Structure 1
């Protein structure tokens, strides 16, 4: 399915006359052309959302399988199950930066990302094989993380290659709505598999979960190769854009980066520029703290099981908080882009999640604890905004941004790695200590983001004082 829009020939001839250089085009003709261009980009980028759904389903199916004998069948004891979860993030962290540097070098997300998707689908499928033991589960989870790590920073880099800074918040939101949909849709699909596939062909239901979801990932990745766009400067982009649209796409990025001295640099120079920029490291700490504060999502079925419902009902109850969070995240992203404000939206999301953690700490009432889960899930609105802030705050050239995005995404997974041990069974069913850690992480992240906002505001103030009509940071 080729998601391109036909263009009326007469309007195309008119555009040939009016839009030779998009940056100099009359306002109305440029606006019309830009709307059509962005619409085309949006349609093709929608494939990233589909892949992200599969990405999160494949990484989280171990948490779902736990409800139907995953631990018992593999003979996992003590800290072995958390280790199976955490080893995923070790692989995830290792190759994020080099993966993004490689993608930036080849400029072909349409080939690289679907190829990685096929590979992690194969690994996910193998996780369900019958002779798996603890060591095999560790290896499968490690390689799953190693391969999946290509997607998120690669997707963010691809978005930043096509969209302007005031468009990124919404697009990041739509991407992460895939994560929320995967939480809702994935658990509903898993409930059907676990309920209906037990004993089929002599296999446990949790093994079918890996077989079916891994196979679905492989199948979906194939059409993605023909839908995802490559970077604007790659020759393949001319196949689905008119010459005027392609020229405008390049001009938009040139205008976006002209004040940040977007000169040609090597991969090594881009790496060193990112490593020397303290903002990159500060944002790494912010994303690490944020991920630690939302580590509850690794244990969502386990936390909902404390409400006392059946396994099937527990999985179904995972869906409503994710749907509500998707709506909230969409609103936050739109409002953040419209007001050009990042910190306020991040802080509001973290504050709501802290309320949820506090409610869960002080009561075992079913209704109150389920309501608290809804509040916790609202944190996703702030996470999406934080990632947009990272992209906005790290200036070009492209090799530097590729490294910075890979580095911040990699460091954020240190929070997920630590979070794998935050909800041990012995702290249940109240998990007061776990929620206390989440509150501390959320509070610290909020403080660090506030300090970062003050710094960016000061940089903008100094630029205004000197009368510089240059790049302004979004705060």
Structure 2
């Protein structure tokens, strides 16, 4: 929409803009996640949305790429705690058999944004160019930033706190929420983070194995993301290429919800859903890489894009599993979610830059082979995590037992009410 000309954005400047966002995103993610665990999510999470919406609205006032970089860095800071904060909040309310579908419904929002983002940008480009003397790209930032601000303000009224500090539950309902979670060993009440909590995090294998696994999954999600580029280089009009992203992302969102529902339906089973999807993804990448060394016919490109799109939210699904590993320690759970998410963002982005080089389009042979290997490696890692967890190998410990022991036990009347409900 002319932003590159107005701000003198060449390829290097644009890549640095992406990098500055991730620098801010990673710097604050881990320390910021502990804030979510200790303070009211009803105020913290909406405030983050209001702040980053405001930053996006300010994008049109930048005069050169240096100011653009600065706002991108600040944007990364404001967005860093939101994703792990939402995952942590879900894990503090829902049982193992309920968490998968809700986590994946949240993850599907990312795919739906991809489905409507291109259409929204196209409409703004057609309608808003020159309105009030502003370029269309400036209106794009203003409108989408205002949406985030409005939704953040709504969040102050609708988003719940944790069950122990919310004001819209009766004492019986609060006790029921507490008993549901604690029966599965989940601890929610926050305590002081200690060296024991740190050791509980770093000396167990599940953190490091999940870092590797989620990173591998991130390496397998690039075909749908490059779908428009592939279609363009196969000779299709640019508008058509962008519009074709919408049904792919809608299909990805529906697939994510189905995986979450299936996992909960099978008593919260995670491992074989993850391994099964990754085996499917690896097989499709193998087919796409083998046929004409990546130069696939159009029909196969379309089928492959839809087949692989079911993997777009699997990294988020892994976070539901991660919640269960560290459920006994509130602070540790908040830390590992943020740590795994920040590392996967960095590592997968760095590898993808080299594996999925735009100049390799439309074949992307190296990218397809890399993604195939990552998918099959993820199957192995997932089965290993499942086996270690099954035999109880170096499970994380509950480091906050004193808090639970000091809490008053549920009364007989409350227990009877819980049974009736």
Listed one character per residue, the Cα deviations across residues 161-207 of structure 1 (whole Å, up to 9, x for unaligned) are: 11112211111011111111111122221221123333334433223
The match for 1:266 is 192
Match of 2:398?
A: none
SS, match of residue 163 in structure 2: coil
Aligned-pair distance for 1:99?
A: 1.0
Moved more, 399-408 or 310-319: 310-319
The offset of 1:295, in angstroms, is: 4.4
Q: 1:253 aligns with which of 181, 185, 210?
A: 181
Partner deviation per Cα, 1:368-393 (whole Å, 9 max, x = no partner): 21222212211035334322111122
1:211 pairs with 2:139: no
Cα distance in 1 between the residues matched to 2:80 and 2:224: 18
The structural deviation recorded for 1:82 is 2.8
Matches of 1:169 and 1:226, distance apart in 2: 25
Q: State the partner residue of 1:160.
A: 91
- Quote the Cα distance in structure 2 between the aligned partners of 1:78 and 1:180: 26
Partner of 2:70: 139
User: Is the 8 Å Cα contact of residues 56 and 141 (structure 2) preserved in structure 1?
Assistant: yes
**Residues in 1 aligned to 2:210 and 2:112: alpha-carbon distance in whole angstroms:** 27
Match of 1:342 in 2: 270
* Structure 2 runs not aligned, ≥5 long: 396-421
Residue equivalent to 1:324: 251
Aligned residues: 387
Task: Decide whether the 8 Å contact of 2:217 with 2:378 is kept in 1.
Answer: yes
Residue 425 and residue 357 in structure 1: after superposition, are their counterparts in 2 closer, same or farther (change >3 A)?
Answer: same
- Tell me whether 1:116 sits opposite 2:12 in the alignment: no
Residue 217 (structure 1) shift: 0.9
For 1:166 and 1:195, the matched residues in 2 are separated by 46
In 1, Cα distance between equivalents of 2:23 and 2:225:
15
* CA apart distance, 1:114: 0.7
The 1:446/1:143 distance shift into structure 2, 3 A limit, reads farther
Which of 122, 127, 130 is residue 196 of structure 1 equivalent to?
127
Structure 1, unaligned runs of 5 or more:
1-67, 463-475
Q: 1:86 aligns with which of 13, 16, 19?
A: 19
> 2:216 maps to what in 1?
289
Secondary structure of the residue aligned to 1:379 is: coil
Deviation of the 1:360 alpha carbon? 4.8
Deviation at 1:214, TM superposition (A): 0.9
Q: Deviations over 1:398-429 (max 9, x none)?
A: 11111111111112212343156243332233
Q: 2:282–2:373: 8 Å Cα contact kept in structure 1?
A: no
SS at match of 1:341: coil
Match of 2:322 among 390, 401, 407: 390
Residues 196-253 of structure 1: per-residue CA shift (max 9 Å, x gap): 333334433223221211111112210111100011111xx13x22222111111222
Specify the alignment match of 2:306 in structure 1: 374
Select the residue among 203, 215, 239 that pairs with 1:276.
203
Deviation at 1:111, TM superposition (A): 0.4
Partner of 2:419: none
The 1-side partners of 2:387 and 2:203 are apart by 20
Segment drifting more, 208-217 vs 194-203: 194-203
- Per the alignment, do residues 166 and 436 of structure 1 end up closer, same or farther by CA in structure 2, a change over 3 Å counting? same
CA RMSD of aligned residues (A): 2.6
TM-score by length of 1: 0.75
TM-score by length of 2: 0.84
Tell me by how many angstroms 1:141 deviates. Answer: 2.0
Q: Distance in 2 between matches of 1:93 and 1:406?
A: 9
Matched position secondary structure for 2:92: helix
Change (3 A) 1:200 1:419: farther
Q: 1:126 to 1:441 in 2, by over 3 A?
A: farther
Q: Is the 8 A contact 1:289 1:415 kept in 2?
A: no
Alpha-carbon distance in structure 2 between the residues aligned to 1:124 and 1:420: 26
1:242 matched to 2:173? The reply is no
